[in-house]
């Protein structure tokens, strides 16, 4: 038999390997069609009311997994985010993906037709309450908390329920005079949503607390960071309806900050992302969203104290399952859907803000 014939099988295998390998210096087209399309787009533009320091490890992990797709991330507060998105949308210059903790405003934008649908294995893995119309997607699991100064208020004194907070303010009004902080709902989209969801959860207790805030004197602030700064400095002893993710993250580095998840009910929000209708880089936006919702993305987020996986099948996030177990019947997730728009009706919004200001800042 010819030596060439003897070596033919090996030769064919070698040729097959050579043809399977990309030429030196030539970038191989990704096998995943979505990734390939995202690489052709080159980037994804994200506008977010999510602190960039939280997002930075997620961005790094995404860009390492998907080279060729660059993330442009703009960190805004929830009110700025809404105004900028609407202004830019009118000019056709908006972000590809919008990610915010002001869940009601996100749902309103989706309801008004500013989003496009997306379906994937990752979106299918979300709990039912975290998806709406296959356009609005919950990405995190974040409790709403009471924060306090551990140096000036002993942990044993910290109110464990809303009723205990009421009692504390009634029994020691002078101690807490001017020492309370909460969101200003007219300037904070997140604050407005948390306060109005609190009304829906327990209207009697909420307005009794608002009356107590009015008698005691309360600073109303536009952000969680400003509330936590005041608590850490001792300017405030207690912060009400604080976003628990940021409070727990701060408490991990600052021993002055204590955090309570109320035992009677703890609201839990999931910050919402949607892909903008008419996004300039829609495939890159889908790739980013799927990464955030994937097990890997959820694990990245869950590495930050106070951020828990929205998925039930991320075994590494034992903190989330333990938190659900501890809260038990107090666990009150805020469902993503049209119910969030109740207080976005202009008349209801006006009436709520009017009552809030008259109650918290009573006329002398």
Domain shared by 227 and 355, yes or no: yes
The CATH number of the domain holding residue 231 is 3.40.190.10
Taking each helix axis from N to C end, the angle separating 189-201 and 103-111, rounded to the nearest 10 degrees, works out to: 100
* Residue 44 is assigned to a structural domain of this protein: yes
Looking from the CA of 348 toward its CB, the CA atoms found within 13 Å total: 11
Which residue, 281, 270, 273, is CA-closest to 71? 281
Confidence (pLDDT) at 305: 78
Confidence (pLDDT) at 331: 83
| pLDDT level of residue 30 (50, 70, 90 thresholds) | confident
* Residue 6 is assigned to a structural domain of this protein: no
Per cent of the chain over pLDDT 70 is: 90
Confidence (pLDDT) at 26: 32
Domain shared by 239 and 354, yes or no: yes
Per cent of the chain over pLDDT 90 is: 70
* Residue 25 is assigned to a structural domain of this protein: no
| pLDDT level of residue 189 (50, 70, 90 thresholds) | confident
Tell how strand 238-243 and strand 142-149 pair up: antiparallel
Confidence (pLDDT) at 287: 98
Domain shared by 147 and 296, yes or no: no
* Residue 198 is assigned to a structural domain of this protein: yes
Domain shared by 275 and 198, yes or no: no
* Residue 11 is assigned to a structural domain of this protein: no
Domain shared by 236 and 348, yes or no: yes
Please tell me whether residue 174 adopts helix, strand or coil conformation.
Answer: coil
Domain shared by 137 and 170, yes or no: no
For residue 307, CA distances in Å to 10, 297, 301, 302, 304 come to: 54, 12, 6, 5, 6
The residue that leads in pLDDT, 363 or 261, is 261
Which residue, 345, 333, 253, 309, is CA-closest to 122? 309
* Residue 9 is assigned to a structural domain of this protein: no
d(CA 206, CA 254): 29
pLDDT of 214 > 70? The answer is yes
Domain shared by 85 and 170, yes or no: no
Confidence (pLDDT) at 316: 56
Domain shared by 262 and 278, yes or no: no
Q: Are 141 and 309 in contact (CB under 8 A)?
A: yes
d(CA 300, CA 296): 6
Domain shared by 95 and 109, yes or no: yes
d(CA 70, CA 209): 47
Count: domains in the chain: 2
pLDDT of 151 > 50? The answer is yes
Confidence (pLDDT) at 36: 96
Confidence (pLDDT) at 11: 36
* Residue 177 is assigned to a structural domain of this protein: yes
Confidence (pLDDT) at 322: 67
Residue pLDDT, tens place only, 307-355: 888 887 776 555 566 677 777 888 888 889 998 999 999 999 999 999 9
For residue 181, CA distances in Å to 84, 103, 231 come to: 28, 22, 8
Domain shared by 232 and 286, yes or no: no
Confidence (pLDDT) at 7: 40
Range of the domain at 157: 142-268+342-360
For residue 27, CA distances in Å to 23, 85, 245 come to: 8, 35, 41
pLDDT of 224 > 50? The answer is yes
Domain shared by 262 and 194, yes or no: yes
Confidence (pLDDT) at 324: 74
Confidence (pLDDT) at 318: 57
Domain shared by 213 and 356, yes or no: yes
């Amino acid at each position: 038999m010819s030596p060439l014939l003897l070596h033919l099988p090996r030769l064919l295998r070698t040729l097959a390997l050579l043809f399977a390998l990309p030429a030196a210096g030539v970038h191989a087209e990704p096998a995943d069609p979505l990734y390939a399309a995202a690489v052709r787009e080159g980037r994804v533009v994200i506008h977010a009311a999510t602190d960039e320091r939280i997002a930075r490890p997620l961005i790094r992990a995404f860009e390492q997994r998907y080279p060729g797709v660059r993330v442009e991330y703009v960190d805004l507060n929830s009110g700025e985010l809404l105004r900028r998105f609407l202004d830019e949308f009118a000019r056709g210059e908006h972000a590809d993906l919008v990610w915010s903790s002001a869940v009601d405003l996100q749902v309103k934008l989706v309801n008004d037709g500013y989003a496009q649908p997306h379906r994937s294995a990752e979106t299918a893995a979300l709990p039912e309450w975290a998806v709406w119309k296959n356009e609005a997607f919950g990405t995190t699991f974040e409790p709403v908390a009471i924060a306090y100064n551990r140096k000036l208020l002993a942990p044993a004194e910290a109110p464990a329920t809303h009723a205990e907070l009421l009692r504390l303010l009634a029994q020691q009004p002078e101690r807490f005079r001017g020492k309370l902080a909460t969101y200003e709902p007219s300037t904070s989209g997140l604050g407005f949503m948390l306060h109005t969801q609190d009304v829906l959860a327990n209207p009697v207790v909420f307005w009794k607390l608002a009356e107590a805030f009015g008698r005691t004197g309360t600073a109303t602030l536009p952000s969680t960071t400003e509330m936590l700064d005041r608590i850490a400095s001792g300017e405030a002893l207690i912060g009400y309806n604080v976003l628990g993710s940021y409070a727990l993250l701060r408490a991990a580095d600052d021993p002055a900050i204590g955090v309570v998840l109320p035992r009677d009910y703890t609201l839990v929000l999931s910050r919402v992302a949607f892909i903008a209708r008419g996004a300039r880089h829609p495939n890159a936006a889908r790739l980013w969203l799927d990464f955030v919702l994937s097990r890997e993305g959820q694990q990245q987020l869950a590495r930050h104290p106070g951020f828990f996986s929205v998925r039930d099948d991320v075994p590494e996030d034992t903190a989330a399952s333990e938190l659900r177990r501890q809260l038990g019947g107090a666990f009150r997730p805020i469902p993503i859907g049209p119910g969030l728009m109740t207080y976005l009706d202009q008349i209801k919004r006006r009436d709520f803000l009017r009552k809030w200001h008259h109650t918290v800042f009573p006329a002398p």
